[in-house]
Amino acid sequence: MGGHAAQRDPDDLAGSARAALVREIAASGAFDDDPVWREAFEAVPRHLFVPYYYVGTVGGYERRWGESPDPRAGEAWLRGAYEDVPLAIRMRDGELLSSSSQPSLMAVMLVGLGVRDGDRVLEIGTGSGYNAALLAHRLGDDGLVTTVDLDPEITESARRHLDAAGYHPVVVTGDGAHGVPARAPYDRIIVTCTLPSVPGAWLAQCRPGARVLAPFATGLIALTVHGPGHAEGRFLHTPAYFVPLRGAHRSRAAPAYGTGLADVPRRARDSDRFRFLLALTAGSIGAGEAYEVWRREGRPERERYGLTVGEDRCWAWLDDPGGPHRWVLPS
């Protein structure tokens, strides 16, 4: 008996796929410290923010499109939109410019941001608009959420996605490294691109006691702002790999560790914890010296490290900002 299997109703498929994703995130423990975020992930439809995306293949990238005339391709797009993976949403000459972050990592960051009712939040790096929608769902559409991106094509498409989903945060086109002073002061800043340094403009636009959560050196730093030129905090336990910040504070080239790395045991070179220390110190110490610290201090995990940001310099530290292991970072 011939024929094709009946295609599932897209709304039903989206609902069941979203519910499965939320269960997967919840099982990871990401919502434990603030269960309110679970309701936001249950409510906000991620597929509306990724009408197309790119999937890596052996030869490069394959584009998945929600409006494909092939029902099977459309179903693959919809299922993929609710996988717990980052989705590449904008490419240029083979370079990834923007992505929709892995949902479980987004949950970790949103919980780590410590948002409270009434907080004014600035997001650096609009991307698809999905993260801004989650924030707007949590805080409401009363002008509390502002999101900024350098690329007008990104902000325009994000506005369309947000409108389709029924959320209306303030979307600004501009260099995120400068913040959005017209919307300040902020209680929280969340960053969705890797930083080479912490722009002073952000701290100046924050209220005292505000929190800045950002990817830095393959980790997530949670800084408390103590004044216009001073912030300090520790890293979360979670690894994080994001597209670099573009604009005035675009990322430096990766530091060269030289021949010293050849003298480091292979086990350490393959360790994510050791590679984090190398990325954090940004070449300010040699690989051999970094290995001796790492070995002597018991192979520290990310949360033992922190950053102190001053008016004229920034330094990383292990365990204690005033302790023996401090490294001034390149400005």
Domains of the chain: 10-235 (3.40.50.150), 258-328 (no CATH)
Q: Which of 235, 293, 237 is nearest to 264 (CA)?
A: 293
CB within 8 A of 182, min separation 6: which ones?
Answer: none
Region 306-312 average pLDDT: 93
Q: Which of the 8 DSSP states describes residue 144?
A: -
Over the chain, what is the mean pLDDT? 90
pTM for this predicted structure: 0.91
SS (H, E, C) 48-116: HHCCEEEEEECCEEEEEECCCCCHHHHHHHHHHHCCCCCEEEEEECCEEEEEECCHHHHHHHHHHHCCC
Enumerate the β-bridge partners of residue 119: none
Give me 301's structure tokens: 């995990």
Active site residue 98: yes
Q: Are 233 and 220 in contact (CB under 8 A)?
A: no
Average pLDDT over residues 23-43: 96
pLDDT single digits (tens) 77-121: 999 999 999 998 887 776 777 889 999 999 999 999 999 999 999
| Span 207-236, pLDDT tens digits | 999 999 999 999 999 999 998 889 999 999
Question: For 257-305, what is each residue's pLDDT tens digit?
Answer: 444 687 899 999 999 999 999 999 877 888 999 999 999 999 999 999 9
Q: Which residue has the higher pLDDT, 88 or 254?
A: 88
Residue 249 confidence class, pLDDT cut points 50, 70, 90: low
Among residues 28, 68, 98, 101, which one is catalytic? 98
Q: CA-CA distance, 189 to 123, in Å (whole number)?
A: 6
pLDDT band at 10 (very low <50, low <70, confident <90, very high): confident
Question: Element (H or E) spanning 224, and its range?
Answer: strand 219-227
pLDDT of residue 74: 87
8 A C-beta contact, residue 115 and residue 137: no
